[in-house]
Amino acid sequence: MLPQAVRGEGVYLWDAEGKRYLDFSGQAAVNFIGHGVPEISAAVAEQASQLEFVHSSQFSTPIAEEYAKELLEFAGEHFRGGCVYFTCGGSEAVETSLKLARQYQVEVGQAQRYHMLSRTQSYHGSTLGALAVSGNARRREMYLPLVREFTHVGIPYCYRCVYNCIDGCAQCGEKYAGELEKAIELSEGEAAAFILEPVSGATLGAAVPTARYMQAVAEICQRNGVLLIADEVMTGMGRTGRNFAVDHWGVAPDILVAAKGLSSGYAPLGAVIANKKVVDAIANGTGTFLHGFTYNAHPLSVAAGKAVLRYLKTHDLVHAADSNHPGTAGQNMETALARLLDLSVVGDVRGIGLLWGVEFVAEKTTKTPFFADLNFAGRVGAAARNRGLLVYPMQGSVNGHSGDHLLLAPPAVITTKQIDTAVATLREAIEEVR
């Protein structure tokens, strides 16, 4: 049985028994600003005291309008003239982005385009449309008969590169991008959009692409009239040390999807941020996006999101997450986690900003994974939890089933001392299990 959580403050959570946990997982990479920030609960309470809810078919609200403007600005100049669509979480936002991409193609006279291309070893959510574009084998297998499937192309995962490169995927980014071009060609003019996680989240554990790959993918989409959707549910809102992870490579997707860090978990919230091209196509066409959930732009959720955005700007938390800057939490994570590489079962430490993966192997030189039944990552997660440390264990990095890794994504307010303590505790947990 799971413990009952009762309180949070900064990087810590407490259960009903009074046990304290250091949250090195950010609760599935959700919490970015720290737990228990009073300004956020105050903003939500203030909104609740004024107006709890209106339906988006009858009203907009000042708070949603102001927040949308701020988010567009945060997303950068490529989104000037764009629009934001608020949902209650990541899966709803991904569904929204897929339907928006389809409607865009219809509005611009490309009604034959409906294929939603995506990547193997990816995760975009648990609703059926999001599951269809996800590649995460374990999470989708049972539901496959229910989903409409399109092509999944390969994903650059440098530790186990299928092109067997020896230069950190410096050259093979173009080969992976070439797979996308081929898939578009094979769709015979029916490809509508390509969705990707700029940095892989839970499925591969923070596999970071090369600039060449990201730029080639963006260029291929643009050249072929295919919309590029960046699913930044996990990587957006500062998590990787940039406002959105695509900013690392100067790539401008047509649609950005955000959730998790958007509200840091203070209320259920997701957002689809569309560029002017997409918005204009609908505005100048039928004029209405044919889609909606009852709780679109819920006033309490957008109040939480708006307060979180203000908080992360005021406290310079995107900079804190930047692992390219000396002395930041991001760089301290990188340095501290690299120490784990001396353990015989730690094959790879990868990541960027405050999103890191630690991959376990039974044998280092051959990169042989543990037998899936051993549940190595799950056991490390349990041993860490016993010691008061929370991590996010996953399996399937090698082929969807075997391959064990941890995802680590602490709040950006984590101190150097807390990082060192967490990594020392993680070492003990790994040593206990191996």
Ligand X SMILES: Cc1ncc(COP(=O)(O)O)c(C=O)c1O
Interacting residues toward ligand X by CB under 6 A:
28, 89-91, 94, 123-125, 197, 201-202, 231, 233-234, 259
Contact 237, 243 (CB under 8 A): yes
Nearer to ligand X, 181 or 231 (CB): 231
Alpha carbons 235 and 321: distance in angstroms, whole number? 11
User: 89 or 411, CB closer to ligand X?
Assistant: 89
- Nearer to ligand X (CB atom), residue 216 or residue 259: 259
The C-alpha atoms of residue 406 and residue 204 are separated, in whole angstroms, by 9
Q: Closest CB to ligand X among 133 and 361?
A: 133
Closest approach, Cβ 119 to ligand X, in A, equals 11
User: Taking the complex as a whole, how short is the minimal distance between the CB of residue 126 and ligand X, in angstroms?
Assistant: 6
What minimum distance in Å lies between the beta carbon of 204 and ligand X? 11
State the Cα torsion 415-416-421-426 to the nearest 10°: 100
For the CB of residue 412, give the shortest distance to ligand X in the complex, in Å.
18
How far apart (Å, rounded) are the C-alpha atoms in residues 237 and 265? 12
Helix (H, G, I), strand (E, B) or coil at 220: helix
Cβ distance to ligand X smaller for residue 172 or 409: 409
Are 177 and 211 within 8 A, CB to CB? no
- The set of residues, in sequence order, having a beta carbon less than 8 Å from that of 182 and lying 6+ positions away, is 153
Q: How far is CA 221 from the centre of its chain?
A: 21
The residue among 87 and 418 lying less far from ligand X, judged by its C-beta, is 87
CB of 201 to ligand X, least distance (A): 4
Can you list the pairs that 370-374 forms with residues at least 24 positions away whose Cβ atoms lie under 8 Å? 370/402, 370/404, 371/402, 372/401, 372/402
Q: How far is the CB of 87 from ligand X (least distance, A)?
A: 9
CB of 259 to ligand X, least distance (A): 5
Between 41 and 127, name the residue whose CB sits nearer to ligand X.
127
- Which of these, 209, 224, 239, 251, lies nearest to 350 by C-alpha position? 209
Adjacency order of strands within the sheet including 152-153: 83-87, 270-274, 255-258, 227-231, 191-196, 115-119, 152-153
Cα–Cα distances in angstroms (integers) from residue 145 to residues 23, 132, 142, 401, 424, in the given order? 37, 10, 8, 19, 45
Contact by Cβ (8 Å): 213, 207: no
With both helix axes pointing from N to C terminus, report the angle between 38-50 and 299-314 in degrees, rounded to the nearest 10: 150
Distance CA 217, CA 233 (A): 19
Of 321 and 346, nearer to ligand X (C-beta) is 321
Compute the least distance from the CB of residue 318 to ligand X, in Å.
19
50 burial class (0-12, 13-18, 19+ CB within 10 angstroms)?
Answer: exposed
* Strand, coil or helix: 428: helix
Task: Rank residues 270 and 299 by Cβ distance to ligand X and give the closer one.
Answer: 270
Give me the least distance between CB of 123 and ligand X, in Å please. Answer: 5
Task: Determine the residue with CB nearest ligand X.
Answer: 90
CB of 17 to ligand X, least distance (A): 28
Nearer to ligand X, 204 or 337 (CB): 204
